[in-house]
Structure 1
Amino acid sequence: MFRPDTETGVLTLVKGGYHFGNQGQTIETVVATRGMTLIGDRLYCAGGGFWVETRLFEFTKRRDEVTSSLPLSGEFISGICRTGDHEIVVGTCGRTGETKSCLTFVDTETMTQTRKKSINADISADLMTSSGIMRAGDYLCFAAGTLTVSRVSLTTWQVEEYTRPGRRPRSPLSDLQRGG
């Protein structure tokens, strides 16, 4: 993670925003590109992977280091989105094709996990440019590694698929507009 200073043009490598792995042969990015969310003057994103533990990171404006971090379940980051004034949800998944995904809800004021829910779906960590999660009403929508688009209810935790190869696509947003 780099912090640019727009006044001086200096680009600072943020302490804790990188990790050396594979016996020094690679630099694994700790911060994933699966989304970031901003609450006040704090930026939240998550990262991890082969060489480092999966974590949620907090970066504070004008600081050159990770302000806080929280360990997460799952092997890879699928996405992150804001669900309340001081709450975010992070989606994580297992290896390709596995259906051991997890949704972790975090109170950003205390940087504590408030709820964790395992779901029997593949929330993709890398489906072209469609990875990530998005909140729409009482649902979290996500892409899966098998080219499906699904949603999970935040009240019943039921997962519904909307598109699948060979099946005519259905829009999850049209259901929400009808109140479903």
Structure 2
Amino acid sequence: MLHIADADSAENNSGSSHYVVTPLSCSLPNRREGGPKASGEERLKILPGTRLHSICGGEDDSEQYYCNYGVNEEYEKQFQAAGLRVSARGIQGETRAVELPGHRFFVATLFQPQLSSRPEAPHRFWLAFLRAAMKFQKAGSKPSATRPHYDQPRAKTAKV
């Protein structure tokens, strides 16, 4: 997406000079004892006009976390220029979710909806995902005409 040859996650410790996923700089206020930096619940600000906003039904939400890594904020402008949109921020303004407008369902979250989902009460995120999958199936699994260019097969280049 960013066309960075050695883009990686710091979790892999590959020695890359372009970690787009890095250790979180701060922990959640009510961190679970012995858990990762982001473990427990955090309030979110959901940005209006996003798919996540329509899923959550408003601008304020609270979600569960269990992780140590997140988006490297140094790459946020590059991600946005490539088409990703920040759709949720943490209490200190950190990126907590991104999405790809025009895609049938591309929402990536740092929070983990499965932590608060139960068989008798699935998280609204999973219900929205299943609705999108059923809509896609009903449409005959045809690719969207609005699919961004980087989802299309790339042309092969000849070696010189």
TM-score norm. by structure 1 comes to 0.26
Report which of the two has the higher share of helix: 2
Give the alignment's TM-score, normalised by structure 2. Answer: 0.28
Greater RCO structure (CA 8 Å; 6+ sep) = 2
Please identify which structure carries the higher strand content: 1
